[in-house]
Structure 1
Amino acid sequence: MVLLQIKNVSFTLPTEERILKRIDLTIEEGEFHVVFGPSGSGKTTLLKMFSQQLRPFGNFEGEIEINGVNMMDLNEEQLVRTIRFVHQNPNDQIIFEDVLQELAFGLENLGIPSDEIQNRMAEMVHFLKIESWLHEKTAYLSGGQKQILNLASALIMRPDILLLDEPTAQLDPLAATDFIHLLKRVNDELGTTIILIEHRVQALFPLATSMTFLEGGEVRFSCPTNKILEYLSGHENMVRQVLPPGLLLSHDLGLEDAPFTVKESIQLLKKYHISQLPFIKDLPSTYTTEVLKLKNISFRYDRKGRDVLKNIHFSIAENEIMTIFGNNGSGKTTLLKIITGQKNPYAGELFIDGVKQKKLKSLYASRKSIGYLPQNPLALFIEKTVLKDFEKYCRRLEIDPVKIDEVVAKLNIENYLHKHPEDLSGGEIQRVALAKLLLNNPKILLLDEPTKGLDLFSKNQMADLLLQLKQQSCAILIVTHDLEFAVKVATSVALFFDGKVLEKQSPRIFFSNNHYYTPAISRIVRPFDSNIINYEELLQSTKNLIGEFK
């Protein structure tokens, strides 16, 4: 049964920029539908068309029908009961200090009797298994818990349709996996129709019933998940990057199997009598010039509170790209703020170029040594257009304005220069913010979740850029949840645990030894005594072996 129909929908901003172009899409009742595509392709704008409150100012054309009724004929209460949203940033939707207040808010607004509110809350708490933090302050919840609270606040309204805009973008890998599987449970057990925008598409193949590829504001194709290979031709650059590694391997080897999961991929290799894959010798990186060193750094927010950072000790050298993984709320961002001088530790020493920093003021981060990309890159912009912001930044730091043209060309952001930063998509603002940092030729680059909001093509561009900066002797420290991105760029990897940065390891050793903080390819090859960590290695090593049995 058709639940939702989008008919010839277009949307144009007051600047006459057309964001959506003749969108036609049909969603059946009970579907788990994934929308993916490049940054700035109109995915978020498409979801905002379902809400008068979220819809940007501009010209809307076309029709959206829900259960055969034009959405414009539904009043606000009917829409609230039919469609609910979960946004990318877990903090954007939370209003109250207490979890219980947050859960009750939507129902109270609809005038639901208190007895029914209590019953719905009890049912939702048990369904999502959130009893243990029901009486917590929302500020003390982890990123994953906050996103589950947003999901609970949406589901308690009993909507027919749940719209989610990159809900795992700011979650660590384990929390992201838990959240996605929770969505599948909602879809299976409650029958709720789910429409999910996501860049991490690989993990969704076993769960999604259908997918839509959006590019340039247009639907390029929409199909059942198991038919996506039929659309590989003509969209290869984008589609190849979202396929699970086992499915891509099967396609590249000319096999008829279609493994979506790690388990199915392992079974595929065993089917062709593969018992062992190569074990690649790990060549440790060598560094000569240390540019950043932290020695026994400790930090707490309150004098009598617990230590958030405990005796942090590590160093980074020129030509090194170090990535740090860890759970949400573990202290990774706090660590970066200490390096930039936004926070001061109560113990320990910090050295830059061998010089001890007694109290590193945040002004230092604006000079030549340090460039810092925060989780919210909009915080770097204060002017009405990107170009004006760049020009003001250059004047303040006495940077030759010719540098703007160089950086703009390098990051391919010409189309964003005359836009307001807040009008850019999540992926676009990430690239523009990084460009602003590069105007100053930083010697040390600190990146907090730099791939948040980026499509896979943009991630590859960023990876290439960071590797270029590495060759130019830049030292780069990345805090990230993106395992696959780290495989591409990292020269060293460490895990944040219990307020400490554990011992640095090479990427191959780190990913081969971990079971959870490791990409799907490492999990696929583990039963075959292999330390392969990227797709090119997997394809090359299986070509000859499988060819013998075809």
Structure 2
Amino acid sequence: MALVTMQNFNFSYPETDQPALQDVSLTLFPGSFNVLFGKSGSGKTTLLRQFKPVLAPHGQVSGEIFFADQPLNQLALRQEASQIGFVLQNPDNQIVTDKVWHELAFGLESLGYDTPTIRLRVAEMASYFGIQHWFEKDVKELSGGQKQLLNLASVMVLHPQLLILDEPTSQLDPIAASDFLETLQKINREIGTTILLTEHRLQDVLPMADQVLLMDQGKLIAAASPREIGQQLQKSQGDLFVAMPAPMQIAAQFTPDQLPLTVREGRNWLTNLSLTPLAKQVEQPRKITEAMIELKDVWFRYDRSEADVIKGLSLQVAKGEFFAIVGGNGTGKSTSLSLISRIRQPYRGKIKLGGRPLRKYSEQELYRNFLGVLPQNPQSLFVKKTVLEDLYEVIDGPKEKKSAAYQAQMQKEQAVQGIVELTQLIHLVQRHPYDLSGGEQQRLALAKVLLMRPQILLLDEPTKGLDDFYKRQLGEILCQLKAQGVTILMVSHDVEFVAEFADSCGLFFNGNVVSSKSAQDFFAGNSFYTTAANRMARTYFPDAVTVKDVIECLKTQEIS
């Protein structure tokens, strides 16, 4: 018997011609682990929210959804709240109280459970999720990973039959994300909770899945096991195959009938090829002839009574260099960007941009055609009612069409048209920015920043919410900017993206950059902060860190 059934479901947002969901039919069985994936804007989040009526967007609906053989729209609010759990993408958006223990108890209190039951369930969930060590803490003291784990525990304390998660690890570092996904697998395996998950980290999550659901332009185009989906995409030779795990992408180039799914399977596949191991190359030190960004012995704390967040940070980024910072949640990465962009002031140390002290720049000099900043929350840049208006806002909006003003307006229209095409926003220009998907909002925010033509570009988690397909295009855009002399400093949890596109990389730990190397040397020497391709192939090709690197190394060997 199915737990959830969707039959011929259609949904359209108000005042739109194109439906967001078209004739979707699917089945989720009790105790199954289901992964939904597709390009950004393909309808994944819209689909997920249909299974939680209180979160379902307003619009025109047709078709049916059944939950435990009962029409979903006929569920009592109490039954929906307890039986269908939903974890959002941003950990802060779901937390409603100030203390960890109260957050765990809040849902049960809202449903009117008695005190002994609440205490028992809270104690049980805190122990199960390992929360007892920070049970009394204020929520604001938690890291991003801890907040997301708290959100998960706060939902699970209600004992839901169906757990829905929308990009739950998008703001977590690789280690915290891996821990979170392992916890999900534990819940599915040990408690039997049915899981429906959207996730761009398919590398980690596909091996856990029983069923993979593939969305494209509002349609469900495939539903099968992970390996079957991989085989279908490989045979179709479409761009969707780039989202598959690294071992599968590598093997598809040589043995299309054998597609390993995990790193372990990938290692076994390599072993069976009888390869000749390559020697590790000597590391090449970074050379900086002209520093565009300089920090020297920088210290910062948010309050005099609190501990330092940035501790003696010294860093140099060369002109035209693409430098990426990786590290755990709460280590100070985003804070360092706020210091460089002068949003916050250090209490000790020096910061220079372009060889000039940061404090000597006027507001106009700093933020107009010199320094561009893409914040972690793209919505903080949106101020207009449509995408097009928001883009024109950057260049002072449309002017009257007379003489020189007309020529200036034409140039602005050309600039906006070019950036719209570059960031693939053509079909979204009349949409409200808040109606876009997470990935589409990231692209709009990037478009606004690029319209300013900055010489220095600061990016805080630019790939958050982006699918693998657009990530490649983003990487190519950044490489084009670098070729034009733009200096890029990026904070990211996306090690695969950093390994493929960044020139150099540093590990942020305890308020400082503890290591700074070329991206290849950095990832080739790490065990956890490295790529799946490197973990799979390092025994034979220690310097290979991307899928492309491993494939090139394999091409030098005689593979039978």
Fold shared by both chains (TM-score > 0.5)? yes
Tell me, yes or no, if the aligned pair for 1:34 and 1:211 is still in contact at 8 Å: yes
SS at match of 2:238: helix
Name the residue aligned to 1:515: 527
Matched residue SS, 1:496: strand
**1:220-251 superposed Cα distances (whole Å, 9 cap, x missing partner):** 11101231233125753343212222222333
SS of the aligned residue for 1:530 comes to: coil
Give the distance between the partners of 2:541 and 2:52, measured in 1 at CA.
52
Deviates more, 1:347-356 or 1:189-198: 347-356
Residue 265 of structure 1 aligns to a residue whose secondary structure is helix
Give 1:410's match in structure 2, choosing from 408, 417, 422: 422
Does the CA contact (< 8 Å) of 2:457 and 2:489 recur in 1? Answer: yes
Match of 1:464 in 2: 476
CA drift at 1:314: 1.0
CA contact (8 A) 1:341 1:360 kept: no
- Residue of structure 2 equivalent to 1:437: 449
Are residue 490 (structure 1) and residue 502 (structure 2) matched? Answer: yes
Asked if the contact 1:341–1:359 (Cα under 8 Å) also holds between the matched residues in 2, the reply is: no
* Matched residue, 2:294: 293
The residue that corresponds to 2:266 in the other structure is: 265
**Which residue of the other structure, out of 455, 480, 490, is the alignment partner of 1:478?**
490
Describe the shift of the 1:239–1:383 C-alpha distance in structure 2 as closer, same or farther (beyond 3 A): closer
| Cα distance change on mapping 1:388 and 1:193 into 2, 3 Å | same
For the residue of structure 1 that corresponds to 2:112, the secondary structure is coil
Structure 1, residues 173-204: CA drift from partner, whole Å, max 9, x if none? 00000000000000000000000001111211
Once the two structures are superposed, what CA deviation does each residue of 1:398-449 show, in whole Å capped at 9, x if it has no partner? 9952321222222222122211110111111111111111111100000000
Instruction: Deviation per CA, 1:290-314: give whole Å up to 9, x if none.
Output: 2211111110011132110011111
Deviation of the 1:538 alpha carbon: 1.2
With 111-120 and 351-360 compared, the bigger mean Cα shift is at 351-360
Query: 1:357 is matched with which residue?
Result: 358
Kept in 2: contact 1:324–1:496 (CA 8 A): yes
Q: Give the match for residue 35 of structure 2.
A: 34
151-160 or 502-511: bigger deviation: 502-511
Contact 2:276–2:557 under 8 Å retained in 1: no
The answer on whether the counterparts of 1:342 and 1:361 sit within 8 Å (CA) in structure 2 is no
Give the equivalent residue in structure 2 for 1:4: 4
Q: Which residue of 1 aligns with 2:402?
A: none
> What is the identity, as a one-letter code, of the residue corresponding to 1:35?
L
Q: Which residue of 1 aligns with 2:305?
A: 304
Post-superposition offset of 1:468: 0.1
For the residues of structure 2 that align with 1:512 and 1:479, how far apart are their CA atoms? 19
What displacement does 1:350 show? 0.9
SS in 2 for 1:102: helix
Change (3 A) 1:21 1:341: same
**Distance 1:213-1:42 versus aligned 2 partners, 3 A rule:** same
Note the alpha carbon deviations across 1:227-276, whole angstroms, 9 max, x for none. 12331257533432122222223332126444222222112211222251
Return the letter of the residue paired with 1:8: N
Structure 2 equivalent of residue 524 of structure 1? 536
CA contact (8 A) 2:234 2:241 kept: no
Where do 1:110-125 residues align within 5 Å?
Answer: 110-125=111-126
Matched, 1:250 2:262: no
1:181 matched to which residue of 2? 182
Q: Secondary structure at the match of 1:371?
A: strand
Measured in 1, the distance between the counterparts of 2:255 and 2:323 equals: 37
State whether structure 2 residue 230 is matched by structure 1 residue 229: yes
1:66/1:359 Cα in 2 relative to 1: closer, same or farther (>3 Å)? farther
- Residue by residue, what CA displacement relative to the aligned partner does 1:134-172 show, whole Å, maximum 9, x if unpaired? 110001100000000000011001000000000000000
- Structure 2: distance between partners of 1:111 and 1:250: 54
1:346 is matched by which residue type in structure 2?
Y
Amino acid paired to 2:537: V
| Partner of residue 13, structure 1 | 13
* Equivalent residue letter for 1:380: L
The residue type paired with residue 515 of structure 1 is S
Unaligned runs of 5+ in 2: 399-407
Residue segments in structure 1 that go unaligned for 5+ positions in a row: none
Q: Secondary structure, in 3 states, of the residue corresponding to 1:504?
A: strand
Moved more, 57-66 or 251-260: 251-260
| Contact in 1 for aligned 2:374/2:460 (Cα 8 Å) | yes
CA contact (8 A) 2:104 2:154 kept: yes
**Secondary structure of 2:538's partner?**
helix
Distance 2:278 2:213 in 1: 35
- Per the alignment, residue 389 of structure 2 pairs with 388
Q: Deviations over 1:354-405 (max 9, x none)?
A: 1112376766553121100011001001111121122222118999523212
1:328 equivalent in structure 2: 329
CA spacing shift, 1:546–1:180, aligned 2, 3 Å: farther
Alpha-carbon distance between aligned partners in 2 of 1:240 and 1:228, rounded to the nearest angstrom:
9
**Partners of 1:114 and 1:484 in 2: how far apart?**
47
> Which residue identity lines up with residue 315 of structure 1 in the other structure?
Q
In 1: Cα distance, 2:395 partner to 2:503 partner:
32
Distance 2:436 2:256 in 1: 41
- CA shift, 1:517, in A, is 0.3
| Letter paired with 1:410 | L
* Equivalent-residue separation in structure 1 for 2:378 and 2:365 (angstroms): 19
- Contact 2:278–2:541, Cα closer than 8 Å, also in 1: yes
The reply to whether residue 455 of structure 1 matches residue 467 of structure 2 is: yes
Question: Which has the higher mean CA deviation after the structures are superposed, 178-187 or 1-10?
Answer: 1-10
TM-score (norm 2): 0.94
Alignment match, 1:337: 338
Pick which of 322-331 and 407-416 moved more: 407-416
After superposition, the Cα gap between the structure-2 partners of 1:432 and 1:503, relative to the gap in structure 1 and judged at 3 Å, is: same
Find the residue that maps to 2:552 and give its secondary structure: helix
Q: Is the 8 A contact 2:35 2:206 kept in 1?
A: no
Return closer, same or farther for 1:518/1:314 CA change in 2, 3 Å cut-off. Answer: same
Find the counterpart in structure 1 of residue 404 from structure 2.
Answer: none
How far apart, CA to CA, are the structure 1 residues paired with 2:80 and 2:506?
Answer: 46
Three-state SS of the structure 2 residue aligned to 1:488 is helix
Query: Separation in 1 of the partners of 2:147 and 2:365?
Result: 34
Aligned amino acid, residue 427 of structure 1: G
What CA distance in whole angstroms lies between the structure 2 residues aligned with 1:517 and 1:365? 34
Contact 1:285/1:491 (<8 A) preserved: no
Q: How has the CA–CA distance of structure 1 residues 413 and 284 changed in structure 2, closer, same or farther, with 3 Å as cutoff?
A: farther
Q: Does 1:423 align with 2:435?
A: yes
Corresponding position of 1:162: 163
Give the structure-1-normalised TM-score: 0.96
Q: Which deviates more, 122-131 or 90-99?
A: 122-131
Deviates more, 1:262-271 or 1:373-382: 262-271
Q: Please tell me the residue identity of whatever aligns with 1:405.
A: Q
